[in-house]
Structure 1
Amino acid sequence: MKVNIEIDCTPVEARQFFGLPDVVPMQTAMMDKMQQQMMSNLDKISPESLIQTWFSFDPKIAERFQDMFVAMAGLGSPKKDKK
């Protein structure tokens, strides 16, 4: 014998039926806090501030970036031997 029971209810109704706590206020508070933190740190991830932070560590970093881009551009072309 096989019995199928189908219950049509919302997630809130299911939580209430099983006696689970209402987590909506906690989720709302956490999302508000995360949004506030993200908005306060938004200026730290702007391109200008990132470049300023990167270049403030090492005075030769500009040279290293240039060398890295030259090396990456050279990967696609075959190297010629100087004989």
Structure 2
Amino acid sequence: MKINVEVDCTPEEARRFLGLPDFTPVHEKYVANILESMDKGLSPELLETMFKSWAPMGEAGLGMWKQMFDQVSGARK
């Protein structure tokens, strides 16, 4: 037997219903830090340092970002 249930709700309503934490303030702070860094001028070293400290998977996440940037920059050359 197969039963399908459809729930029409916003992501905020689903988060509250499931009891998940609200990370909106953390997200806003993260975005504000990135925008502030971009306004000040982003050097490759600063970008690497930021991603090392902010990347969700540490070094593995940084490697993924670096590979992506290398592919994009290589495609534009």
TM-score of the pair, normalised by structure 1: 0.48
Structure 1 counterpart of 2:67: none
What is the identity percentage for the equivalent residue pairs of Structure 1 and Structure 2?
44
Tell me the C-alpha RMSD between the 2 structures. Answer: 1.7
Higher helix content, 1 or 2: 2
Aligned residue pairs, count: 44
Once the two structures are superposed, residues 6-38 of structure 1 have per-residue CA deviations (whole angstroms, 9 ceiling, x without a partner) of 000111111111110001111011101110001
* Residue correspondence of structure 1 range 37-76 to structure 2 within 5 A: 37-41=37-41
Structure 1 counterpart of 2:26: 26
Once the two structures are superposed, residues 27-77 of structure 1 have per-residue CA deviations (whole angstroms, 9 ceiling, x without a partner) of 0111011100011016x6xxxxxxxxxxxxxxxxxxxxxxxxxxxxxxxxx
Higher relative contact order (CA 8 A, sep 6+): 2
Compute the displacement of 1:3 (Å). Answer: 1.0
Structure with the greater alpha carbon radius of gyration: 1
Structure 2 counterpart of 1:5: 5
Q: Which segments of structure 1 move beyond 3 Å, counting only runs of 4 or more? A: none
Structure 2: 5+ residue runs without aligned partners?
A: 44-77
Distance 2:26 2:16 in 1: 16
Structure 2 counterpart of 1:36: 36
Compute the displacement of 1:2 (Å). Answer: 1.7
